[in-house]
């Protein structure tokens, strides 16, 4: 485990304790003396995705990758951006330490990351994932993006924009209503 501050490869354990589903270790970098925490968890043999129709399917990195690639087709993304996005999601999924994950959680993870990566890819992915059945739902998603851009552009004029926290909450409550 490299130091998150300086990248040095070695650290010493200064505290170690059992937590709910693993071991928490407090470490100190042997180079810059920064302290950080690691968690050790048992990784499930395989991860299953619970689909919307309740079917279970083994998690496939390739499938996730090709879905996102399709959404990002012809979008000017930096080389390796999509692979990194999938790596991040995969790592986060395993970090959750669950044997089964609802597909909606994975979809939300992708949406959150695409939003700060590329708007067009975000809308494309959303149109498939959220199964927009009418133009109103699609327009709503675009409007959300546009207003988020308007609100954050006063802070920074550079892309990618960070998702606005308040807007996030609104979107989530709207999602809940729709269900």
Work out how close the CB of 5 gets to Zn ion at its nearest, in angstroms, rounded to a whole number.
5
For strands 56-58 and 48-50, give the pairing. antiparallel
Closer to Zn ion by CB, 31 or 140: give it. Answer: 31
Which tokens is 101 given? 């994950």
Q: Is 128 in the site for Zn ion (CB under 5 A)?
A: no
DSSP state of 49: E
- Which part of the chain contacts Zn ion (CB under 5 A), choosing from 7-15, 39-47, 54-62, 139-147? 7-15
For residue 76, give Cα distances in angstroms to 3, 67, 79, 136, 152. Answer: 32, 17, 9, 27, 22
Q: In angstroms, give the least distance from the CB of 79 to Zn ion.
A: 29
Q: Which two tokens stand for residue 69?
A: 């690639």
**Least spacing, CB of residue 33 vs Zn ion, in Å:** 7
Nearest approach, Cβ of residue 1 and Zn ion (Å)? 11
Q: Could you say which of 1, 2, 5, 10 contacts Zn ion (CB under 5 A)? A: 5
- Residue 106 CA to residue 163 CA, distance in Å, equals 18
Residues 8-67 that bind Zn ion (CB under 5 A): 8, 29, 31-32, 34
Sheet (strand 56-58) strand order:
56-58, 48-50, 100-102
Q: Please state, in angstroms and rounded to a whole number, the distance separating the CA atoms of residues 2 and 124.
A: 36
Count of CB atoms situated within 10 Å of the CB of 66: 13
User: According to CB under 5 A, which one of 3, 110, 121, 126 is a site residue for Zn ion?
Assistant: 3
Cβ 134 to Zn ion shortest distance, Å: 53
* 4 or 44: CB nearest Zn ion: 4
Residue numbers of the site for Zn ion (CB under 5 A)? 3, 5-6, 8, 29, 31-32, 34
């Amino acid at each position: 485990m490299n130091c998150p501050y300086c990248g040095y490869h070695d650290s010493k354990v200064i505290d170690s304790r059992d937590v709910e589903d693993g071991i928490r270790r407090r470490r100190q970098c042997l180079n810059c003396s920064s302290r950080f925490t690691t968690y050790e968890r048992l990784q499930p043999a395989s991860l299953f995705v619970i689909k919307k129709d309740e079917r279970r399917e083994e998690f496939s990195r390739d499938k996730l990758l090709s879905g996102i690639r399709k959404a990002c087709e012809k979008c000017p993304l930096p080389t390796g951006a999509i692979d990194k996005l999938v790596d991040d999601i995969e790592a986060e999924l395993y970090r959750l330490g669950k044997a089964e994950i609802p597909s909606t959680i994975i979809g939300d993870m992708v949406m959150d990351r695409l939003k700060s990566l590329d708007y067009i890819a975000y809308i494309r992915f959303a149109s498939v994932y959220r199964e927009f059945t009418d133009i109103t739902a699609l327009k709503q998603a675009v409007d959300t993006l546009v207003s988020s851009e308007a609100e954050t552009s006063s802070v920074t004029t550079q892309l990618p924009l960070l998702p606005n926290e308040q807007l996030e909450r609104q979107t989530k409550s709207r999602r809940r209503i729709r269900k």
